[in-house]
Structure 1
């Protein structure tokens, strides 16, 4: 066992040295947007909702580093506070998906039988609906709020996380350490929590980061359509939607939040894909 653990650590160490520059640039960008989102209230920026109609679409200046939008609001402040809204939904919704979907997926992959067929069938039914259309319909019915948006996107993410957890559990449930635990008389709960969960967490964590990127895009799409984060709270999607009215006069109002969202989504995808490669159980990670 000690020799096996040593080999696993050496394998992970060797692969971690191949991360590359893009991975660390993505990590740096994620740290930056999280830092500005957390410290938005103490940073020297004006309020993102204060309007000055005399400064509509003002260019870059020392007072407004990225200019102002169509209502005279500071564009940089709205980008910073918009990061808080987008990341709040982007992080909390996948947490709902990974907790509920991960638990159901592990149970389905371990117990199999009719229980697995019921869960997989339910997930297939939910996946059969176009997620954006379903989110639009539910949001229009429940009303606009960050809580409703987070719950809707979280529930829509449950089937994907359930599939990942089930696939990992199926691959691991017949491994030697699980069979040995069963032979020693371990209960189902102990096997699930002590043997399988530490291994299933690895692919779920990697997919969680990809889920954050997908959720940020989904939140941006709903906000762009006017059914996401309610105004005047800024978010990157709503800023893109507001900026499209000024494309011929000040295209930066749409491009700046779009570029910010693009870099954030790309960074989460890069980090998630890299961690998924490093923690692939087929590579020997136990």
Structure 2
């Protein structure tokens, strides 16, 4: 993949390519709506997401409850809006941690090389041999169900892809003339990696991050569905699907509404990631 630099001409070409992608704006619009709802949830949500009212239990969508109510009489729309906070925060923070730690491991492994590189890559191959959900399930089960442990579990499962992405260009870049010139001038290895190698691969890592954030949100929903996510009564999309699964035939809105929310969020992130990738490297575009 062609690595974007920080020159004004490259930045201008990037934004022109991104703006010309009409599908990209659909992803931006969907993600903006979801983020807006999460940030302003206290003002947008029509009801308290934790307030129970048995008299209103399992009511279908109506003018009072636009997406109906659950088995405890809680407003589904309000819980859906507040649940977006958990999904977005967990997805963003977990991917940010995985991006920083994984990229650092990949750069260090590719730069040092030799036995260290082989050992690190072997460990990453072991991690990649496990399905993401299965590895996250094992880690979350060992750590216990909590908001912080959920982020840690997802971050660990997503580190290996970032390390792989960062390692490959590091091996190529460390042999370039500007790295050799830096060594001749007495630059330390940390300076060469942090100020000369990292900026030349940062755009590629960010693109991967936008795509893997969708995977992190799916993993969070899956772990919440099986009871290893954020403990109730905090609303989460995966937890809402689990609660509505038993009443799927009679009260379809309980499981369908959070499922659609996950679908739209993942779709928006995937569209945005594809658009960023195409803008950075026009050769990958599908005409």
TM-score normalised by L of structure 1: 0.90
Q: What is the CA distance between 1:279 and its match in structure 2? A: 2.7
1:19 aligns with 2:24: no
Deviations 1:182-241 (A, max 9, x none): 344433222212211112211111111112100000011111112212111111111111
Q: What is the CA distance between 1:27 and its match in structure 2? A: 0.7
Give the distance between the partners of 2:176 and 2:122, measured in 1 at CA. 26
Give the distance between the partners of 2:32 and 2:9, measured in 1 at CA. 31
CA shift in 2, pair 1:138/1:110, >3 Å? closer
SS in 1 for 2:44: coil
- Is the 2:94–2:216 contact (alpha carbons within 8 Å) kept by the matching residues of 1? yes
Q: What is the CA distance between 1:10 and its match in structure 2? A: 5.4
Give the distance between the partners of 1:9 and 1:147, measured in 2 at CA. 36
Give the distance between the partners of 1:174 and 1:155, measured in 2 at CA. 30
- Is the 1:48–1:74 contact (alpha carbons within 8 Å) kept by the matching residues of 2? yes
Gaps of 5+ in 2: 1-5
With a CA cutoff of 8 Å and minimum separation of 6, indicate the structure with the bigger relative contact order. Answer: 2
Give the distance between the partners of 1:181 and 1:277, measured in 2 at CA. 32
- The aligned runs of 1:168-207 (5 Å cut-off) are 168-207=169-208
Give the distance between the partners of 1:107 and 1:240, measured in 2 at CA. 41
- Is the 2:83–2:236 contact (alpha carbons within 8 Å) kept by the matching residues of 1? yes
Deviations 1:233-275 (A, max 9, x none): 1111111111221221121221111111011001111111221
SS in 2 for 1:41: helix
SS in 1 for 2:63: coil
CA shift in 2, pair 1:144/1:241, >3 Å? same
- The aligned runs of 1:1-286 (5 Å cut-off) are 5=7, 8-9=10-11, 11-20=13-22, 22-280=23-281
Aligned residues: 279
Give the distance between the partners of 2:54 and 2:211, measured in 1 at CA. 40
The list of structure 1 runs, each at least 4 consecutive aligned residues, that deviate by more than 6 angstroms after superposition, is none
